[in-house]
Amino acid sequence: MVECCREAVLPRGENGQTRWIKQYLNGITWLPVTQVRGRDATMVDETAIEVLRRFYVAETAYLQSENKDFSLLAPTLHPECVVLHPSSLPYAGRWVGHHGVQAWLAKFGATWVTLAVTDPKFFSSGPDTVFVRCTVHAVARSNGNNVSWPMLQMITMKDGLIIEIEPFMWDTAATLSALHG
């Protein structure tokens, strides 16, 4: 089974990243929602899990693309979405709305050349909140270091879209050391 999201190189050319996303999504075998963990897996709307999976694929493609086409991510994000990151990171802050997420992605992309979320496991916490336990693999733009870390994200949904993303990284000090090492 192919798991969301493995690193891949985007094809060059017009709309290459869009074609890649469609090909990638069509080639993935997704776990059924019954394998989502939590008090009551039926409480999590299947749409929420699918939106999260599409977001992870689009985030990877966005970072690897040359023209940084936000339209890859926009369909997964609520217009009033909020992305939160701890103050210790180079892309720290509270990023609000599509414009805020684009600003966050600019800082995020200035930090990481590539990033892939692997082995996501979804945990229900009611009808609109999902916790995702995953491993992140990234390459630092500053020095080319490969960095991996476990992460837990709290994702809140509204109207079938991501309204808030709050990641909890395992060890931000180790990540910062790899960025500057």
pLDDT for the residue numbered 135: 94
CATH number of 16-180: 3.10.450.50
| Every domain of the chain and the residues it spans | 16-180
User: pLDDT digits over 46-75, tens only?
Assistant: 778 888 889 988 888 888 888 888 998 999
Give the model's pLDDT for residue 31: 40
- Alpha carbon distance 53, 2 (integer Å): 12
Cα 6 to the center of its chain, rounded Å? 12
Closest CA to 159 of 48, 43, 49: 48
What is the structure's pLDDT at 6?
Answer: 34
> How far lies 100's CA from each of 75, 80, 95, 154, in Å?
15, 9, 5, 19
Instruction: Inform me whether the pLDDT recorded for 97 exceeds 70.
Output: yes
Angle at 165 between CA 163 and CA 170, to 5 degrees: 170
Nearest to 102, CA basis, from 67, 141, 130, 137: 67
CB atoms within 10 A of CB 158: 13
Q: What is the pLDDT of residues 81-95, one digit of tens each?
A: 999 999 999 999 999
pLDDT digits (tens, 9 = 90+) for 2-52: 233 333 333 334 444 444 444 444 444 334 334 444 444 444 567 788 888
Q: For residue 124, what pLDDT is reported?
A: 79
Read off the pLDDT of residues 152-164 as tens digits, 9 standing for 90 and up.
Answer: 999 999 998 999 9
- What pLDDT shows up at residue 44? 56
Find the distance separating the first CA and the last CA of the chain, reported in whole Å: 35
Q: What is the pLDDT of residue 20?
A: 47
CB distance 119 to 135 below 8 Å: yes
pLDDT value at residue 122:
87
pLDDT of residue 2: 29
pLDDT at residue 45, as a whole number: 60
Give the tens place of pLDDT for each residue, 105-144. Answer: 999 999 999 888 888 888 878 778 999 999 999 999 999 9
